[in-house]
Amino acid sequence: MNLDLFDSLEPNDRRQQQLGQHAFVLRGFAISHMTELLSALESIWQAAPFRHLTTPGGLRMSVALTNCDQLGWTSDRNGYRYTATDPDSGHPWPAIPAPLLHLAQTAAAQAGFDDFAPDACLVNRYEPGTKLSMHQDKNEQDFKAPIVSVSLGIPALFLFGGHARTDKAERVPLFHGDVVVWGGADRLRYHGVLPLKEARHPLLGRQRINFTFRKAG
């Protein structure tokens, strides 16, 4: 990991960084919502605990996850998909807390996507050493709505590539409170996260929490 990328940008620098025609980083956008976000996070994982899923190929995912809202993303030997119920409990996924929904819709509007109505919120928990391989978000029914991704906790290097897996990816430092929004012509671009470096955040400790909002159904 090139630490110079982190050194060149101050955490919570409130700038809007453009990554593509319809892709933006909203620096520090979630900071003013932090109390509500941390409370929402606790309510979600208490209702639907974090877990490590298995890929269709049988590999254990290093990133732990849970979900809230009407649909939750899940994976096992049968494939990647959305479900209306938590496979572990058989109960519906917890409702999305109002502050989370408000943040997602406000961030989407800031990036030019009005009337965003997500029905799925995937919550990922990264620890130092974990990563997310390059992939497209394509399990949704249509791709008209944007993706809104909120970062909390320790920093990460977000990879934002092209429409082919082999396209060169831009390395984007993400800090506590940053929000990434992409849609339109950029909706199906490959993206991922490099292995996280050892770090500790004063509120969240040795972890990064990522909320990803989508319109799945």
pLDDT band at residue 9 using 50, 70 and 90 as cut-offs:
low
Nearest-angstrom CA–CA distance, 64 and 161:
23
Q: What is the pLDDT of residues 130-152, one digit of tens each?
A: 999 999 999 999 899 999 999 99
Examine the pLDDT at 11 and tell me if it is beyond 70.
no
* CA nearest to 29, candidates 184, 211, 214: 211
DSSP symbol at 185: G
HSE, side-chain direction, 13 A CA sphere, residue 126:
28
Examine the pLDDT at 163 and tell me if it is beyond 70.
yes
User: Is the whole model's pTM more than 0.85, yes or no?
Assistant: yes
**Pure H helices in the chain:** 4-7, 34-47, 98-110
pLDDT band at residue 4 using 50, 70 and 90 as cut-offs:
very low
Plot region of 86 (φ>0 → left; ψ -120 to 50 → alpha; else → beta): beta
Q: What is the pLDDT of residues 50-92, one digit of tens each?
A: 999 999 999 999 999 999 999 999 999 999 999 999 999 999 9
Q: Six-digit token pair at 123? A: 């919550």
Identify the CATH homologous superfamily for domain 4-8+17-209: Alpha-ketoglutarate-dependent dioxygenase AlkB-like (2.60.120.590)
pLDDT band at residue 184 using 50, 70 and 90 as cut-offs:
very high
- What beta strand segments (E) does 102-141 contain? 120-126, 132-135
Read off φ and ψ for residue 64, nearest 5 degrees.
-80, 150
3-state helix, strand, coil in the chain (%, to 5): 15, 35, 50
Rounded (10°) angle between helices 34-47 and 98-110: 130
* CA nearest to 50, candidates 62, 32, 33: 62
pLDDT band at residue 17 using 50, 70 and 90 as cut-offs:
very high
> What does the pLDDT read at residue 126?
98
| Amino acid letter, 174 | L
- What beta strand segments (E) does 11-105 contain? 16-20, 23-26, 64-68, 72-76, 79-83
> What does the pLDDT read at residue 2?
39
Q: What is the pLDDT of residues 97-142, one digit of tens each?
A: 999 999 999 999 999 999 999 999 999 999 999 999 999 999 999 8
| Averaged pLDDT of the chain | 93
Domain spans in the chain, listed from the N-terminal domain onward: 4-8+17-209
pLDDT band at residue 15 using 50, 70 and 90 as cut-offs:
confident
pLDDT band at residue 3 using 50, 70 and 90 as cut-offs:
very low
pLDDT band at residue 1 using 50, 70 and 90 as cut-offs:
very low
| Amino acid letter, 98 | A
